[in-house]
Amino acid sequence: MKESVFELFPEEYDEWFEEHKLAYLSELEALKRAIPEEGRGLEIGVGTGRFAQPLGIKIGIDPSEKMLEIARKRGIEGIRGRGEDLPFKDREFDFVLLAFTLCFVDNPLKVLEEAKRVLKPGGRVIVGIIDKNSKLGKIYQAKKEKSKFYKVAKFYSSEEIIDMLRKLDFTNIRALQTLSGELDSIKEVEAPKEGYGEGGFVVIYGEKRREKE
Protein backbone atom coordinates (compact mmCIF):
# COMPACT_ATOMS: atom_id res chain seq x y z
CA MET A 1 0.00 0.00 0.00
CA LYS A 2 2.74 2.45 0.99
CA GLU A 3 4.67 1.86 -2.21
CA SER A 4 1.64 1.88 -4.53
CA VAL A 5 0.63 5.37 -3.39
CA PHE A 6 4.02 6.73 -4.41
CA GLU A 7 3.94 4.73 -7.64
CA LEU A 8 0.55 6.18 -8.57
CA PHE A 9 1.14 9.82 -7.69
CA PRO A 10 4.87 10.67 -8.02
CA GLU A 11 4.28 14.02 -9.74
CA GLU A 12 1.71 15.07 -7.15
CA TYR A 13 4.14 14.21 -4.36
CA ASP A 14 6.91 16.19 -6.06
CA GLU A 15 4.67 19.20 -6.63
CA TRP A 16 4.15 19.60 -2.87
CA PHE A 17 7.64 21.06 -2.58
CA GLU A 18 6.80 23.83 -5.04
CA GLU A 19 3.46 24.57 -3.37
CA HIS A 20 5.16 24.83 0.04
CA LYS A 21 8.46 26.31 -1.10
CA LEU A 22 9.33 28.18 2.11
CA ALA A 23 8.68 25.12 4.27
CA TYR A 24 10.78 22.98 1.92
CA LEU A 25 13.66 25.48 1.93
CA SER A 26 13.48 25.69 5.74
CA GLU A 27 13.74 21.90 5.94
CA LEU A 28 16.70 21.95 3.55
CA GLU A 29 18.42 24.58 5.65
CA ALA A 30 18.17 22.39 8.75
CA LEU A 31 19.43 19.33 6.88
CA LYS A 32 22.39 21.26 5.44
CA ARG A 33 23.59 22.01 8.98
CA ALA A 34 23.73 18.27 9.74
CA ILE A 35 25.23 17.01 6.46
CA PRO A 36 29.05 16.67 6.50
CA GLU A 37 30.86 19.00 4.12
CA GLU A 38 32.70 16.12 2.48
CA GLY A 39 32.28 12.41 1.91
CA ARG A 40 30.16 9.89 0.07
CA GLY A 41 26.51 10.04 0.98
CA LEU A 42 23.44 7.84 0.52
CA GLU A 43 19.78 8.75 0.90
CA ILE A 44 17.43 5.97 1.97
CA GLY A 45 13.94 6.74 0.68
CA VAL A 46 15.29 9.20 -1.86
CA GLY A 47 11.88 9.65 -3.51
CA THR A 48 12.08 12.20 -6.32
CA GLY A 49 15.49 13.50 -5.23
CA ARG A 50 14.19 16.75 -3.76
CA PHE A 51 16.64 16.55 -0.87
CA ALA A 52 19.47 14.50 -2.35
CA GLN A 53 20.11 16.85 -5.27
CA PRO A 54 20.57 20.15 -3.37
CA LEU A 55 22.46 18.36 -0.58
CA GLY A 56 24.98 16.88 -3.03
CA ILE A 57 24.01 13.25 -2.43
CA LYS A 58 24.63 11.21 -5.58
CA ILE A 59 23.14 7.82 -4.64
CA GLY A 60 19.61 7.09 -3.47
CA ILE A 61 17.50 4.01 -2.85
CA ASP A 62 13.71 3.81 -2.96
CA PRO A 63 11.06 1.10 -3.51
CA SER A 64 9.15 3.25 -6.02
CA GLU A 65 10.42 3.08 -9.60
CA LYS A 66 8.19 6.00 -10.63
CA MET A 67 9.73 8.22 -7.95
CA LEU A 68 13.22 7.10 -8.96
CA GLU A 69 12.56 8.09 -12.58
CA ILE A 70 12.13 11.69 -11.40
CA ALA A 71 15.19 11.45 -9.12
CA ARG A 72 17.34 10.24 -12.01
CA LYS A 73 16.35 13.32 -14.02
CA ARG A 74 17.84 15.31 -11.13
CA GLY A 75 21.15 13.49 -11.56
CA ILE A 76 20.72 10.95 -8.77
CA GLU A 77 21.87 7.36 -9.21
CA GLY A 78 18.52 5.84 -8.25
CA ILE A 79 18.49 2.22 -7.09
CA ARG A 80 15.28 0.35 -6.48
CA GLY A 81 15.30 -1.37 -3.11
CA ARG A 82 14.25 -1.25 0.51
CA GLY A 83 15.87 0.33 3.53
CA GLU A 84 15.57 -2.90 5.50
CA ASP A 85 17.88 -4.69 3.06
CA LEU A 86 20.39 -2.30 1.49
CA PRO A 87 22.28 -3.58 -1.59
CA PHE A 88 25.60 -2.17 -0.39
CA LYS A 89 28.68 -3.54 1.34
CA ASP A 90 29.60 -2.73 4.93
CA ARG A 91 31.26 0.66 5.53
CA GLU A 92 30.63 2.13 2.09
CA PHE A 93 29.37 5.59 3.07
CA ASP A 94 30.47 8.59 5.11
CA PHE A 95 26.89 9.62 5.83
CA VAL A 96 23.35 8.33 5.33
CA LEU A 97 20.24 10.54 5.12
CA LEU A 98 16.67 9.49 5.90
CA ALA A 99 14.38 12.49 5.29
CA PHE A 100 10.68 11.73 5.94
CA THR A 101 11.50 8.05 5.44
CA LEU A 102 11.08 6.33 8.80
CA CYS A 103 7.37 7.17 9.04
CA PHE A 104 6.75 5.08 5.89
CA VAL A 105 8.78 1.95 6.66
CA ASP A 106 7.56 -1.20 8.42
CA ASN A 107 10.60 -1.60 10.65
CA PRO A 108 12.41 1.70 11.38
CA LEU A 109 14.92 0.10 13.76
CA LYS A 110 15.96 -2.40 11.07
CA VAL A 111 16.37 0.44 8.54
CA LEU A 112 18.58 2.35 10.97
CA GLU A 113 20.52 -0.83 11.66
CA GLU A 114 21.17 -1.18 7.92
CA ALA A 115 22.18 2.48 7.73
CA LYS A 116 24.70 1.83 10.49
CA ARG A 117 26.04 -1.23 8.68
CA VAL A 118 26.86 0.68 5.49
CA LEU A 119 28.40 3.60 7.38
CA LYS A 120 32.12 3.88 7.95
CA PRO A 121 33.24 4.10 11.59
CA GLY A 122 32.73 7.74 12.57
CA GLY A 123 30.15 8.12 9.77
CA ARG A 124 26.97 10.04 10.37
CA VAL A 125 23.29 9.12 10.15
CA ILE A 126 20.88 12.02 9.63
CA VAL A 127 17.16 11.53 10.26
CA GLY A 128 14.53 14.14 9.34
CA ILE A 129 11.02 13.76 10.82
CA ILE A 130 7.79 15.59 11.45
CA ASP A 131 7.78 15.35 15.26
CA LYS A 132 4.43 13.86 16.29
CA ASN A 133 4.42 15.91 19.52
CA SER A 134 4.88 19.25 17.77
CA LYS A 135 2.13 21.62 16.71
CA LEU A 136 2.75 20.72 13.07
CA GLY A 137 2.88 17.02 13.90
CA LYS A 138 -0.52 17.16 15.55
CA ILE A 139 -1.95 18.92 12.47
CA TYR A 140 -0.51 16.22 10.20
CA GLN A 141 -1.96 13.47 12.36
CA ALA A 142 -5.38 15.11 12.46
CA LYS A 143 -5.45 15.31 8.67
CA LYS A 144 -3.67 12.04 7.85
CA GLU A 145 -6.82 10.12 6.87
CA LYS A 146 -7.49 12.72 4.14
CA SER A 147 -3.94 12.58 2.76
CA LYS A 148 -2.96 10.14 0.01
CA PHE A 149 0.56 9.92 1.36
CA TYR A 150 0.37 10.39 5.12
CA LYS A 151 -2.63 8.10 5.45
CA VAL A 152 -0.16 5.20 5.59
CA ALA A 153 2.41 6.98 7.77
CA LYS A 154 3.34 6.33 11.39
CA PHE A 155 4.68 9.47 13.05
CA TYR A 156 7.40 9.41 15.69
CA SER A 157 8.56 11.81 18.37
CA SER A 158 12.13 13.11 18.55
CA GLU A 159 12.60 11.12 21.76
CA GLU A 160 11.60 7.89 20.00
CA ILE A 161 14.16 8.45 17.22
CA ILE A 162 16.87 9.32 19.74
CA ASP A 163 16.07 6.14 21.67
CA MET A 164 16.44 4.08 18.48
CA LEU A 165 19.83 5.66 17.74
CA ARG A 166 21.00 5.02 21.30
CA LYS A 167 19.82 1.42 21.09
CA LEU A 168 22.06 1.02 18.03
CA ASP A 169 24.99 2.61 19.90
CA PHE A 170 25.22 5.83 17.86
CA THR A 171 27.14 8.57 19.66
CA ASN A 172 27.19 12.40 19.67
CA ILE A 173 23.45 12.54 19.03
CA ARG A 174 22.20 16.05 18.36
CA ALA A 175 19.07 17.73 17.03
CA LEU A 176 18.05 20.76 14.98
CA GLN A 177 14.52 22.08 14.54
CA THR A 178 12.58 24.35 12.22
CA LEU A 179 8.97 25.10 11.13
CA SER A 180 7.71 26.53 14.41
CA GLY A 181 4.21 27.28 13.08
CA GLU A 182 1.69 26.07 10.53
CA LEU A 183 2.91 25.70 6.94
CA ASP A 184 0.60 28.40 5.60
CA SER A 185 1.87 30.92 8.14
CA ILE A 186 5.51 30.79 7.01
CA LYS A 187 6.58 34.11 5.47
CA GLU A 188 10.29 33.44 5.03
CA VAL A 189 12.86 30.65 5.20
CA GLU A 190 13.36 29.81 8.88
CA ALA A 191 16.85 29.44 10.31
CA PRO A 192 17.14 26.16 12.24
CA LYS A 193 17.59 26.15 16.01
CA GLU A 194 19.36 23.66 18.23
CA GLY A 195 17.33 20.98 19.98
CA TYR A 196 13.71 19.95 19.60
CA GLY A 197 10.36 20.69 21.23
CA GLU A 198 9.33 23.79 19.27
CA GLY A 199 9.85 22.96 15.60
CA GLY A 200 7.61 20.70 13.56
CA PHE A 201 10.50 19.41 11.44
CA VAL A 202 13.36 17.96 13.46
CA VAL A 203 16.72 16.72 12.21
CA ILE A 204 18.35 14.19 14.53
CA TYR A 205 21.87 13.02 13.77
CA GLY A 206 24.53 10.87 15.35
CA GLU A 207 27.76 9.07 14.59
CA LYS A 208 28.67 5.42 14.26
CA ARG A 209 31.08 4.63 17.04
CA ARG A 210 34.70 4.36 15.94
CA GLU A 211 36.39 1.04 16.53
CA LYS A 212 38.73 0.89 19.50
CA GLU A 213 42.34 0.70 18.44
pTM reported for the whole predicted model: 0.94
Model pLDDT, residue 111:
98
Contacts 24+ apart (CB under 8 A), 50-58: 50/14, 50/17, 50/24, 50/74, 51/27, 51/97, 51/99, 51/128, 52/76, 52/97, 54/28, 55/28, 55/31, 55/97, 57/97
8-23 residue pLDDT tens: 888 998 999 999 999 9
Q: Provide the domain count of the chain.
A: 1
Domain that holds residue 61: 2-207
167-191 residue pLDDT tens: 999 999 999 999 988 777 888 999 9
Share of the chain above pLDDT 70, in %: 98
CATH number, domain of 40, equals 3.40.50.150
Asked whether residue 39 is domain-assigned, the answer is: yes
One-letter amino acid of 98: L
104-114 residue pLDDT tens: 999 999 999 99
Asked whether residue 77 is domain-assigned, the answer is: yes
Confidence of residue 153 (pLDDT cuts 50, 70, 90): confident
Asked whether residue 212 is domain-assigned, the answer is: no
88-125 residue pLDDT tens: 999 999 999 999 999 999 999 999 999 999 999 999 99
Asked whether residue 90 is domain-assigned, the answer is: yes
